[in-house]
Structure formats: structure tokens, C-alpha cells
């Protein structure tokens, strides 16, 4: 009986999906994680560049210490460049909506550029690439806070990287 009645309702108005899963949009989005990860990429790139040139007369202990540091810095750089990618993909897929794209037509291009630059930052040890990554993430952060009707400001972050970073300010009226 229920089945017949249900099919009749379906015939009049097709069924809609109702979500009963844990991947519910929680509404908690923030570009902060991507910005911090981009700072880490800059820091790791700097630390790698500051490593001394390895010398052939080094003893094992010195050579091991150098290799160990290089491995750790590289590993963290890889991890955080990937974290930038992940955080940006979440914002892109889950947060940004067509109306945001209407207001910010370059949104897709900015996201695409971040993903490309993050990959390049993993492949290379180039401070210019790492700086470019943070700049691009900052640009996205500005757009993000605009979509939230928040103001934003930019100042030097209180980290060893000391790069300019976008932060939200109070809500606009």
C-alpha cells in the first residue's frame, strides 16, 4: 500500500535527495590554514637555501646532520604545499558559490594559479615561487572576506617569514 502511494507521489512530483550523511556543510571555512601553510613553505625554502654547501671533507656526523636537516625541511615543505592545495580545494568546492564567481570573475583563475604554484613550490627550492604562493593565497583571502561582508587588512605577519598577510577585520555594515 505504501509502495503504491509512494509511486503515485513520485509520479506527481519526482523524489528529491535528502542527505543523511556526516559530510554536511558545517559552514566553517577560513583561508587562514592555507595562509599559514604558505608561510611554512616560505620558511622551509629559506631554511633549505641557508644550509651550508656540503663539503667533501666532512665527517660522517656532519654529513648526516646536513642530510637530516635537508630531509626534514623538504618533507615539511612538501607537506605544507600539499596542505595549501587541500585547503584551497575545500574552499573552492564547498564554500564558493556561483554568486561569488559573478562578483569575482577571476576566482577560478586565482584558484587554478594557486594549485599550480603550490605544485611548483613542491618541485623547486625557489623563494620567488614560495612568495608567489603566499601572494596568490592572500588574494583569495581578500575575496573570501569580501564574500563574508568582512573588511580585511594586510600587514607583516609576526613570524620569521615576515611577509605581508591578509587578515579579516570587523564586519561591514
Applying CB under 8 A, the residues found at the interface with another protein are 2-3, 5-7, 9-10, 12-27
Q: How far is the CB of 19 from another protein (least distance, A)?
A: 5
Instruction: Return left, alpha or beta for 80; rule: phi > 0 is left, psi -120 to 50 is alpha, else beta.
Output: alpha
Q: Which is nearer to another protein, 87 or 131 (CB)?
A: 87
Q: How far is the CB of 97 from another protein (least distance, A)?
A: 8
d(CA 47, CA 71): 11
d(CA 39, CA 161): 7
Q: Which is nearer to another protein, 29 or 66 (CB)?
A: 29
Assign 3-class secondary structure to 95-124: HCCHHHHHHCCCHHHHHHHHHHHHHHHHHC
Residue 136 is given by DSSP the state H
d(CA 13, CA 76): 53
Q: How far is the CB of 148 from another protein (least distance, A)?
A: 13
Q: How far is the CB of 98 from another protein (least distance, A)?
A: 12
Amino acid at each position: 500500500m505504501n509502495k503504491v502511494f509512494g509511486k503515485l507521489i513520485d509520479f506527481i512530483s519526482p523524489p528529491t535527495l535528502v542527505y543523511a550523511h556526516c559530510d554536511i556543510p558545517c559552514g566553517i571555512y577560513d583561508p587562514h590554514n592555507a595562509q599559514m601553510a604558505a608561510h611554512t613553505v616560505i620558511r622551509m625554502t629559506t631554511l633549505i637555501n641557508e644550509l651550508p654547501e656540503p663539503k667533501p671533507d666532512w665527517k660522517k656526523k656532519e654529513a648526516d646532520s646536513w642530510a637530516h636537516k635537508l630531509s626534514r625541511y623538504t618533507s615539511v615543505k612538501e607537506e605544507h604545499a600539499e596542505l595549501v592545495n587541500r585547503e584551497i580545494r575545500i574552499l573552492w568546492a564547498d564554500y564558493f558559490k556561483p554568486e561569488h564567481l559573478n562578483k569575482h570573475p577571476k576566482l577560478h583563475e586565482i584558484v587554478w594559479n594557486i594549485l599550480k604554484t603550490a605544485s611548483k613550490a613542491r618541485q623547486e627550492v625557489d623563494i620567488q615561487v614560495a612568495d608567489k604562493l603566499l601572494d596568490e593565497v592572500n588574494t583569495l583571502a581578500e575575496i573570501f572576506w569580501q564574500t563574508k561582508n568582512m573588511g580585511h587588512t594586510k600587514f607583516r605577519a609576526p613570524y620569521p617569514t615576515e611577509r605581508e598577510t591578509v587578515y579579516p577585520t570587523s564586519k561591514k555594515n
